[in-house]
Amino acid sequence: MGPKARPKCRLATVSPHKLRIQNPESRNMWIRRPLLGHEASGTVLEVGKNVKTLKPGDRVAIEPGVGCRTCSFCKKGKYHLCSDMIFCASPPYDGNLCRYYVHDADFCFKLPDNVSLEEGTLIEPLAVGVHACKRAKVRFGDVVLILGAGPIGLVTLLAAKAMGATKTIITDLVGGRLDKAKELGVDYTLKIEKNMTEVETVSKIGELLQEAPDVSLECTGVEQCVRVALEATKTGGVVALVGLGKFELTLPLENAILREVDIRGVFRYNNDYPAAIEMVKTGKVDLKPLITHHFRIQDSGKAFHMAKTGEGNPIKILIHPNPDDYY
């Protein structure tokens, strides 16, 4: 492990996929329920004697996963694939939804003066979107389809636009999420009705775009959406699978194989925090519209209830661990 820093956690968010540990039927049920939280920012209180890059008072975004630093993946720079990674709120390790937290200093990224702690908290999900777009090789001029307008779908939209996508479309079942995507600058939205077939969905995407997408970023994990992504993507294009769903899916692979559609997995992020922070610093990405609700840490139960039920149409819910930081 590297030299440590001790930030005072100022903000953390509620992440819906972490709610799985409350579900006894989930495959992610563990014996000991950890302290939650993996999206956080804070102010450094003290640093270890060998830390040269941070000092008390620095505001930081906390990258929650630290690799072992010695395996082949870590040595090759793919630390996110390390099988011995210590990741916040992934048992047996506790998360950072707390007032004080000790973390490796080189995974605490100093925030520029014009980036708030609230935005710093959302660097974590934005890094997922950045990594997804890198894996899909999104570049200037690309036409991009995003399936799912939840928090990860929306940050992936922001990352795609910042990385040069010139025409974007996003799909979802929930109209409110699509309205938020419009606020963030998406070019087209498609509301998926429950009785729509895959063929109808693919056809509608083509009608709206007047062409097939170069890149499809699947952010739901739902089998039908993965199937749509494979069918809708341009011949020779790329499908990046960001969302996590069932262990096994039935997919139309023969068509994708014959059309040389590349299928790429996406797992968290890898050296993507600097780029994500730079996007916010330079104004290429505005994260503020994603923040819809605030709670004190003593009201965390209400925050998780809102995330679980969708009451109040939340996108990103911020929890303030320290009472003096709540407003």
Rounded CA-CA distance 10/121 in Å is: 9
> Against a cut of 0.85, is the pTM above it?
yes
In a domain, 279, yes or no: no
210: left (phi over 0), alpha (psi -120 to 50) or beta: left
In a domain, 137, yes or no: yes
In the numeric block, the tokens 């922001």 are attached to: 158
List of long-range contacts for 251-259, beta carbons under 8 Å, 24+ apart: 251/223, 251/226, 251/227, 252/227, 255/230, 255/231, 256/230, 259/235
Q: How many domains are contained in the chain?
A: 2
In a domain, 276, yes or no: no
Listed residue (259, 246, 278) closest to 112, CA to CA = 278
Beta bridge partners of 317: 293
Q: Looking at 265, 296, 317, which one is the last position of a domain?
A: 265
Rounded CA-CA distance 148/89 in Å is: 25
The answer to whether residues 82 and 135 belong to one domain is: no
Residue 27 has which token pair? 């495959």
For the domain that residue 141 is a member of, what is the CATH number?
Answer: 3.40.50.720
Rg (CA), the chain: 20
In a domain, 246, yes or no: yes
Question: In whole angstroms, how far apart are CA 92 and each of 64, 85, 182?
Answer: 14, 11, 40
- Spacing of C-alpha 174 from chain mean position: 19
Neighbouring C-alpha atoms within 13 Å toward the C-beta of 93: 17
Rounded CA-CA distance 117/291 in Å is: 12
The answer to whether residues 19 and 110 belong to one domain is: yes
Can you give the residue range of the structural domain that contains 186?
128-265
Question: What DSSP designation does 35 have?
Answer: P
The answer to whether residues 207 and 299 belong to one domain is: no
In a domain, 275, yes or no: no
In a domain, 299, yes or no: yes
The answer to whether residues 66 and 160 belong to one domain is: no
Rounded CA-CA distance 312/307 in Å is: 9
In a domain, 273, yes or no: no
Predicted confidence pLDDT, tens digits, the chain (327 residues): 457 776 666 656 665 444 433 433 334 444 445 688 999 999 999 999 899 999 999 999 999 999 999 999 999 999 999 999 999 999 889 999 988 999 999 999 999 999 999 999 999 999 999 999 999 999 999 999 999 999 999 999 999 999 999 999 999 999 999 999 999 999 999 999 989 999 999 999 999 999 999 999 999 999 999 999 999 999 999 999 999 999 999 999 999 999 999 999 999 999 999 999 999 999 999 999 999 999 999 999 999 999 999 999 999 999 998 876 655
In a domain, 304, yes or no: yes
The answer to whether residues 144 and 244 belong to one domain is: yes
The answer to whether residues 298 and 253 belong to one domain is: no
The answer to whether residues 117 and 136 belong to one domain is: no
The answer to whether residues 225 and 299 belong to one domain is: no
For the domain that residue 34 is a member of, what is the CATH number?
Answer: 3.90.180.10
The answer to whether residues 132 and 198 belong to one domain is: yes
The answer to whether residues 15 and 140 belong to one domain is: no
Angle between helices 151-162 and 123-135 (to 10 degrees): 60
The answer to whether residues 160 and 75 belong to one domain is: no
The answer to whether residues 44 and 82 belong to one domain is: yes
Q: In terms of residues, how long is the chain?
A: 327
Beta bridge partners of 316: 291
